[in-house]
Structure 1
Amino acid sequence: MTGISGQRSSAADPAVPGQAAAEDLRALFGQSIAVFASLSGPAHVVEAANPAFFAAIGEERARTGVPLAELMPELTGQGFIALLDEVYRSGEPYIGRDAQVMLGSDPHLREAFFDFTYEPRRDADGNVTGIRVIGVETTQVKQAQRLMAEHRALLEQIARQAPLTEVLDGMARCIENLTPQEMLVSVLLADPDGRHLRHGAAPSLPDFYNQAIDGIATGEGVGSCGTAAYRREPVIVTDIATDPFWDDFRELADRADLAACWSTPILARDGSLLGTFAMYHRTPRVPHDTDLALARVFADTAALAIERHYIEQEKAAAEARAKAAHDELAKAVRAEQQLRAEAEQRAAAAAELADRMRAAAAAQATTPHPERCQLGGRAGCTEPAEIKIADSWGDAAWGCTTHVEEALINVRSVFIANEEPDGLAAYLNR
């Protein structure tokens, strides 16, 4: 029997005789947050119930004088009517703890949890005439416990800087597991300009659907997510088949077997758009307050994860830029040092050449030589000839200091013709 766990009481409670006792019970439970219903006969006809009972099952079903199975047909398939039959037959009370109950039907189906007691009612002779149902709804406590455990795990992922895709995918699966009916979760991430939405996570949606909506624009009437991103407020579409926001995406949604989509914008602390958080359903669905609260909690969690991701991205980019700048600076310093060393080498070589040229000019001053420089080329040179140079093939010429220096630097095998004899000539003239 789905969702039922409990135990039988070992002893039957004493009978509550008379109409006065029934009135006392109605008075006791009339304003209570505990649910109470008085059922009569083997058909479990609802004789009386307090407001909390009708609030739990739905105010639209607030009526008496009908069998419970007719008032709440969903209970039959979950085993609760069979339990009532057993308590009525045996006269033994039944206590249920944290019993899961699916209340209502699509599109208003919701999950609830109760601690409850089925207590037999007896007449003066001790015969069972009906059953009292007394219970306390524990749905919020149960959901809060599950939510806190899952939420804590997500926060730990964010704290240890897990990859954003891992966090968002885990969050989507967590929410899908928290809900009793099939739900498919999607997270879309906004482009920096906030004009388009990109795929973030959607582990249960088909690939063709994720690919089709990747990059959709934000704007009024662009599905649930595009509109929520544009408005910066939740957009609830309970029936995709008839909602005008889905005119351009209805065929796509039909292929993916999607019938409802509730989208919540994910906003940064400064109000800027980070993305959207969407809950899809296979059948038309109206959200309950708990659904909307769940969406808000996880939209905030997604915002924390996305902002943390962007901060880390910017930090890594800044560190990369700083390293690149440092490397470029080091490269520039090395280049500057190399240029300086080369300049110093060139300066030393130039000084040495200048010394040699001055020595040669002094030595050749008394040697017969042409009056003008012979190294001026076609343009000629009017400077006085001061130094004789020659090459390895025996050609020689006189030139001014400027042209001699230019020739020594740029022409291979050119040397000053009367350098100090320190080779074979020096040996021959020893």
Structure 2
Amino acid sequence: MADENQNDHMDEEDGFKTPVPEKKRQKTKKIAIEKGDHDEDATIDISVNQISEKPDRIPPVVAYFASGYDPSAQSAGGKSPEVTVYRHTEKSKRRLQVVVSPPGSSVEFVGSNYTGEQTARQTCVYSLGVLDKETQTLKILPIAYNKIYRLEPRVKKFESEASESEVIPQELNEDEQREELNKSFGTKKAINDEKKRRARNLGDGAEALDGRLDKIDVNATALESTSAIVARNIPPHNASATTPGDAYPIEKIIDNGEWDFLQDVYKLQAGAPTDAYPVFVRNRLHMLRDIRDETEKQTVSCVLSLLTHLVKFKDINSMDGFDSAKNHKFPAIIRQKCKSLFKDSDADRMPADKINLLISYVLVLSLHVDKFKTDPEDIAADLRISPVGLRRHFDALGCKFAREKKIFLATLPVPLKFPETSMRRKRR
């Protein structure tokens, strides 16, 4: 990817104009903008100039921080965050990536227009207006490929502190040489075998990590909210939440750009066939029809739709459920989400830890639908797991079981209390 200067278009206005007739090129509009009562003039006349795109330059980029980071608050105390825009030069020049690096931090914010929420079909065209009060000119510029970028936090790796001006080459040991050769010339099987071998070596003890930890500098506060997710292999959560709905926030599970692609269950109320849907979804359609609040009905429908896709994704990646899911249609944005969350890029099958994570996502969605009191029998049938075997997955989420009318229901008490993990000591 090549680093591009995104501000050049502001200096060369003519560079964005496409070949048009001379009369149309020089045409500008004049409009009046009302001002407040405290000003002397009621309106000001400005010239509006709409600038078109130039192929060799990047139009303005609009991005927002999903984590709530405020760059203006940081810049007030000193340096402003560094903003860099990259563009692919080989595959496609329309593939952009935005990187915001706060000064002195080991976390940077990254967004792209070819992954995640940005892959959804854009139904709106965005433009940016820049008003120059001195020249009374309003310039209308197109947003880069009509995308609004979602910036996600990423932990970055720093260079060795031994020397800031030069990189000292290090000789690769035997294991690192084998890994590099496998990456360049090895088959998928050889690469996977090498990963398993290295994982076994890393599990032998803390001494296996000597010489590696000093190469990575991690901001502990940035990972505080995600470390529990990695260790417990569960969806994003708030352990100190006071209500069950806030314990596993649905907005952390379904991104903003995914809601429009989860409308199929909502249409089932019109009498569409339901045989292809999981048992859990079919058994909740009557409850969906009884919901009077339209916003709540839309939310529950989207949750049921995502639950369906997750169950089918598990089936299509397993031997016993492949036939039931081979004709299932995944929205592109949901398929990409499932692959990034539950499957390694170079593996043909889902690893065990990813399967457990997918099951945790499905159980959290079922809890939301049943208002955090759910009978695990039907969802266990969809996941092809016995209700007893599914209980440990509920326990990992902090759930408790209570008997109501001779039925054991999984409930979610708050604040969350997770089971303590016991570490086995290795025998010498």
TM category, shorter = under 0.3
Bigger proportion of residues as helix? 1
Greater fraction strand: 1
Q: Which has the larger radius of gyration?
A: 1
TM-score computed with the length of structure 2 as normaliser:
0.25
Bigger RCO of structures 1 and 2 (CA < 8 A, at least 6 apart) = 2
TM-score by length of 1: 0.25
